Amino acid sequence: MNIEVGVADNDEQAALADAVRRALARQWTSDERQKRISDPASVTERPLWATLTELGVPGLPVPEDLGGSGGTWSDLGVALEAAGAVLAPTPAVGVAGALGALEQRSGTDAARLRTGLVTGATIATVAWADETAEPVEARTDGAGAQGNTVLVTGGRDLLLTPEADTVILLATSGEGPLLVAVETNAEGVTVQRHDGLDLTRPTGTLILRGALATVLAAGETAVAAERRSRVAGGAALANELVGAVAHCLAGAVSYAADREQFGRPIGAFQAVKHRCADVLAALELARAAARAVTALLDDAGADPDALDDAVALALLQAGRALHEASNGYIQTLGGVGFTWEHEAHLYFRRSGASAAFFGGADAHLARLDPVAAGAAKPPTFTGPAAELAAQVDALLPAHRAKWGDDDSFAARLDWQRTLHAVGWIAPQWPTEFGGKGLDIVDQVRCDNVLAVRGAPALAGVLGVNNVAPTLMHWGTPEQQQHLAGIQAGTEVWCQGFSEPGAGSDLASLRTKAVLVGEGDDREFVVTGQKIWTSEGMEADYCLLLVRTDPDARPHKGISALLVPLDLPGITRRPITQITGEGGFAELFFDEVRAPYSRLLGPLHGGWTVTMTTLAFERSGVIMMAGRLEQEVREAVDELSGRDLPSGVRLALTDRLVEARLLGALGERALGRIAAGGAPGPEHSVIKLAWSLASTHLGETRLAALGPDAVTAPVGRAARHGYLLSRASTIAGGTTDIMRNILAERVLGMPR
């Protein structure tokens, strides 16, 4: 696989990313980079920025009527991902921050500075302060007669782009906060360049001693502008780091394909594959989070708190991903990666240095702490989701009065029938089959309604989400008559896929169906066993995979049958889980006779039918990701009123981070599908990441309750969740297999 950097979401972005890559490849060669890092003081950000300015990069988020390119912050993110992949020295983070600060400013000074940034005539940066920084003091006496200038004294220990012409910062005065711009060549301004860890990103220290500064904004407007600049600058940095992660992964995969040990490419070793697969997962999560920030920046109505949360999430994940990727790059290279001549150490340096920007991981985690945040703002639903929310609000109290917290199959089936009575089961189905014709985006929004409201899960979910769409695609008119029963909850369906010895490997299934008879009297005689059949004890019918041609290639000799489970010769046995509950069954078929009319799709074409079924699980995987954040919120509510140790709060924050990252990746996957694009690697990553996050949440909920989790009634849900979560890394394909799939099928690593 060609691991892309500057991954585009539309044709215009693809052309932009390609132009950036080509321009940097000509000017920032590996030889040039090696030459510059040998003398770090010679690394300058101006030449490459001039090149990117010619491509219109600085003006991408600036409207055309203000002199910009009329693009978006999302466009800028794509360009900076491409630049970050090669560690191109540019002032992009500082310039993005400056543009963010100036975005709502209309004064002459702000307009002049913005024009200079867009044209490249001026390079500006923002001197952001962390919580420990001393304030920069501003005073007006002796500052001139115009009233828009002040004298500033103070400094910043960490300044990006020390060769900038202008520095924007937040200062304090007797009249309140001020957003000011200082020219670095002015009297009283000193910028000392660091001998830093990152050899391709210059940093410095800013010292101000009564320097003349131009006031750009005052009061709450100044604070809001500086806050906006942090989001814009943080988004720029996050996208750069995503590019660096992708480059490290590509380098490791390429080396692993060529380097041989013990007579095989090292990329064929599972340990190397799994390391690369984990980096791929970290990359896709980081990219989704970074793009989510730029999308919010493009939304004029975005909540500032949501922006702060989003950039904290993006910076946290991008930093963690680069730490993992740069370490993995060196580890895969071995001793070669520990040499000055190889590029790997430059990415390792970038990882370490970037961890200090924007407050670092501690600040990001503090921002996202769900305990400190208190009750989450209830989401606002629109469109079909709002209609469903109104129905759920009206119906759920009566269901709870009848069933309480009972989550049994019977209770869930009753809820399904209640929703069906008001027309809200399977709204994603086409209207001709009884649905509302909702697209996948609205389908997921509706599922989020059910999660947020705490509604029971559907009892016949496999029938509604998996079997029914397959019947719509492959079924005969007679077979499609089952759809009404599936929707109403009068027919419950299961899937007979897994077998002893053929769990994740469907091609190895051995349950056979021999076709006997002639003409209309033909029937299949089925013999074999299925295992781990969800809702197998409750189901009325089974979508059964059987081998009908034992001489064909493994994938070619399979057929799909629609089998009533009350046929003679079928035996069902419950499988008791570690929770003490059922939910799964073994199915035994002893010369079961099923009419030929029960064949779904072509004879021996069951593999293709199955792929259709599994394709419909994409939305289900995305919906699982969306539900996870609600589960974290419920865990926090369980602990309400307790004095939680710092370790517990950190663990809860990490669970929220995992959930929100999955949500961002799910949204990105939805965007691709809604735009008619092919599913990207994010679909495979979602399953892997959800499995791990679900297990982590079960462990955290148990640990957070301390001794109460072991015996007290308050810990009953945590105990159950802890036990149940252990299945997350097994069901639907183990995490080990998912890592192999990511490595071999997505990254193209050798088998």
* Assigned token pair, 163: 């060769």
pLDDT of 614 reads: 63
Task: Give the pLDDT confidence of 620-652 residue by residue, as tens digits.
Answer: 666 776 678 888 888 888 888 888 899 999 999
For the record, the structure tokens of 423 come out as 């027309």
pLDDT in tens, 32-84: 999 999 999 999 999 999 999 999 999 999 999 999 999 999 999 999 999 99
Label the pairing between strands 493-496 and 264-265. unpaired
> What is the full DSSP assignment across 393-432?
HHHHHHHHHHHTT--SHHHHHHHHHHHHHTT-S-TTS-GG
pLDDT digits (tens, 9 = 90+) for 234-280: 999 999 999 999 999 999 999 999 998 999 999 999 999 999 999 99
Query: What pLDDT does residue 132 have?
Result: 84
- Count the helices and strands in the chain (H runs, E runs): 25, 17
Tens digit of each residue's pLDDT (9 = 90 or more) over 382-402: 999 999 999 999 999 999 999
CA distances, 372 to each of 227, 367, 658 (Å): 20, 8, 17
Share of residues in the chain with pLDDT > 90 (%): 75
Measured in whole angstroms, the distance separating CA 146 from the mean position of its chain's CA atoms is 50
pLDDT at 731 > cutoff 90: no
Per residue in 537-585, pLDDT (tens digit) is: 999 999 999 999 999 888 889 999 999 999 999 999 999 999 998 889 9
Crossing angle of helices 73-85/46-54, nearest 10°? 130
Q: What structural domains does the chain harbor?
A: 229-373 (1.20.140.10), 488-611 (2.40.110.10), 616-746 (1.20.140.10)
| pLDDT number for residue 626 | 66
Q: Is the pLDDT of residue 281 over 90?
A: yes
Q: How far apart, in Å, are the Cα atoms of 22 and each of 26, 56, 83, 86, 451?
A: 6, 15, 10, 11, 46
Known catalytic residue at 617 = yes
Query: pLDDT of 410-442, one tens digit each?
Result: 999 999 999 999 999 999 999 999 999 998 888
Between CA 617 and CA 686 the distance in angstroms is: 12
On average, the pLDDT of the chain sits at: 92
Count CB neighbours of 133 within 10 A: 14
Task: DSSP for 488-523, please give it.
Answer: HTSS-EEEE--BTTBSS-GGG---EEEEESSGGG-E
pLDDT digits (tens, 9 = 90+) for 466-490: 899 999 999 999 999 999 999 999 9
Q: Which two tokens stand for residue 230?
A: 């942090």
Q: How far apart are CA 669 and CA 678, in angstroms?
A: 9
CA distance 620 to 465: 7
CA distances for 104 relative to 118, 173, 224, 401, 471, angstroms: 16, 22, 10, 52, 54
Q: What is the average pLDDT across 443-449?
A: 88
Phi, psi of 112 (to 5 degrees): -65, -45
Report the pLDDT averaged over residues 217-228.
96
Residue 734's contacts (CB-CB under 8 Å, 6 or more residues apart) are: 503, 504
Q: Rounded to an integer, what distance in angstroms lies between the CA atom of residue 340 and that of residue 320? A: 24
d(CA 501, CA 560): 19
d(CA 48, CA 79): 13
Amino acid at 426: A
User: 226, 538, 617, 682: which one is catalytic?
Assistant: 617
Residue 324 binned pLDDT confidence (cut-offs 50, 70, 90): very high
Residue 397, both tokens = 């109290």
3-state secondary structure 561-610: EEEECCCCCEEEEEECCCCCCCCEEEEEEEEEEEEHHHEECCCCEHHHHH
pLDDT(670) > 80:
no
344 is written with which tokens?
């790997």
Looking at residue 144, its pLDDT comes to 47
What is the pLDDT averaged over residues 329-339?
97
Exposure string (b/e) for 309-345, b if CB count within 10 Å is 16 or more?
A: bbbbbbbbbbbbbbbbbbbbbbebbeeebeeeebbbb
CA gap 177, 180 in Å, rounded? 10
What is residue 151's predicted lDDT score, i.e. its pLDDT?
A: 96
pLDDT value of position 145 = 38
pLDDT, one tens digit per residue, over 159-177 is: 999 999 999 999 999 989 9
Q: Decide: 535 and 462 in contact? Cβ < 8 Å.
A: yes
For residue 123, what are the CA distances in angstroms to 21, 99, 161, 373, 630?
A: 22, 11, 9, 37, 44
Write down the pTM of the prediction. Answer: 0.92
